[in-house]
Amino acid sequence: MTIDDTSADAARAAAQRFRTTHERIREQVARMMVGQADVVEGVLTALFAGGHVLLEGVPGLGKTMLVRCLSRAVDLRFSRIQFTPDMMPADVQGTSVLVETAGGGHKLEFQEGPLIANLVLADEINRATPKTQSAMLEAMQERQISVGRRTIHLDEPYCVMATQNPIEQEGTYPLPEAQLDRFLMKLVVGYPTEQEYHAILERTTGDHDVEIDKVSNGPEIMGLRHVVRAVPVPDETQAYAVRLVMGTQPGSAYAPSVVGDYVALGSSPRGAQGLLLAGKVKALLAGRHAVATDDVRACARGVLRHRVLLNFQAQSDGVSADDVVNAVLETVKAPHAS
């Protein structure tokens, strides 16, 4: 057997290990979650790709429960933050408090905040003030928090899964574009179907508690993240991801007319990075050994919708970010391999 054959066998074994672990976690989450298959897949994509995810939907659709179920299925340090407008950075980062020592004296001791975990559920994140949002931004981007002169590096894997209500405006603060850009994906949680309503009621109004087993852990997740990163991207797939991102930018040669009419700012290069990372997860799950343009296309709405900043004309005409991304997908064609 040649070296190339050995490498190919190792890659196939790693891909199979990824699919097996992904399926085990998905099955545990599905014990409690009914439906929402695309949302569950998106959340797992963010976890394995090393990104954060924003879940948007009206109250009661299971956003918080989904993240809780995931935390039970994966043996990671979990914390939950319920954001309110009066919350300060120290409430999420931690702070030094005066404690009494055994000898009757006193000393300053740092007490960690809920941001110091592996999997952080940020409930109603848009209720946090800009000052607290800045603390979240540092944790999400730099994987560290700064408290006074103290810098605390956060353990990997680190993933923020945030929720927000798209309707309620009172007591909320729109997330700044810089923070939105740090989310790998924004997933829209919709209403269940009629059949799913019945399944939800059967699982949640009875006397039986659903048990969720821990089927993975931090070191395994980190190892599988390396597997994701190792998936090759052909030149034509990378070119397609670049063109999709450029298609959201006003004035670009790839942008359809709707972008010029309704978009103030398009996606940053992080959008292209997100398309490829999410596409790598898609490729592994489909049993492909390289990312296809269809993988990138399938991830485009989740990766790009929160990176498109609409102007006032779009709001007036009822045009959404999804409408813009759909127009870009219809206009931008995948390049052919040479």
Mean pLDDT throughout 115-125? 91
Residue 294 and residue 245 in contact, taking contact as beta carbons nearer than 8 Å: no
Residue of higher predicted confidence among 242 and 106:
242
Q: Hey, what amino acid is at 78?
A: F
Is pLDDT of 240 > 60? Answer: yes
Is pLDDT of 208 > 80? Answer: no
pLDDT in tens, 96-109: 777 777 777 777 77
Structure tokens belonging to residue 264: 């103030």
Structure tokens belonging to residue 55: 């879940």
Rounded to the nearest angstrom, the gap between the alpha carbon of residue 192 and the centroid of all alpha carbons in its chain is 21
For residue 78, the cross-strand partners are: 119
Q: Among 55-59, 116-120, 142-146, 317-321, whose mean pLDDT is lowest?
A: 55-59
> In the 8-state DSSP scheme, what is residue 269?
H
pLDDT at 186: 95
pLDDT in tens, 266-314: 999 999 999 999 999 999 999 988 999 999 999 999 999 999 999 999 9
pLDDT at 1: 42
Q: Which of 84, 150, 96, 89 is nearest to 115 (CA)?
A: 89
> In the 8-state DSSP scheme, what is residue 87?
-
Q: Which of 245, 230, 248, 220 is nearest to 291 (CA)?
A: 230
> How large a percentage of the chain has pLDDT more than 90?
53
Structure tokens belonging to residue 200: 């939800």
For residue 19, the cross-strand partners are: none
pTM of the model: 0.89
Mean pLDDT throughout 237-257? 96
Mean pLDDT throughout 70-74? 91
Is pLDDT of 6 > 60? Answer: no
pLDDT at 206: 73
Is pLDDT of 118 > 80? Answer: yes
**Fold type of domain 232-338:** Helicase, Ruva Protein; domain 3 (1.10.8)
pLDDT at 234: 95
pLDDT at 323: 96
Q: Which of 212, 188, 210 is nearest to 200 (CA)?
A: 210
Rounded Cα gap, residues 209 and 13, in angstroms = 36
pLDDT at 169: 63
Structure tokens belonging to residue 258: 């709707």
pLDDT at 256: 95
Confidence at 68, pLDDT banded by 50, 70, 90: confident
Mean pLDDT throughout 177-187? 90
**Fold type of domain 1-82+118-124+153-208+216-230:** Rossmann fold (3.40.50)
Residue 144 and residue 14 in contact, taking contact as beta carbons nearer than 8 Å: no
pLDDT at 204: 79
Structure tokens belonging to residue 197: 């309503």
pLDDT at 65: 85
pLDDT at 2: 43
Taking the domains of the chain in order of start, what are their residue ranges? 1-82+118-124+153-208+216-230, 232-338
What is the full DSSP assignment across 297-312? HHHHHHHHGGG-EE-H
Residue 65 and residue 173 in contact, taking contact as beta carbons nearer than 8 Å: no
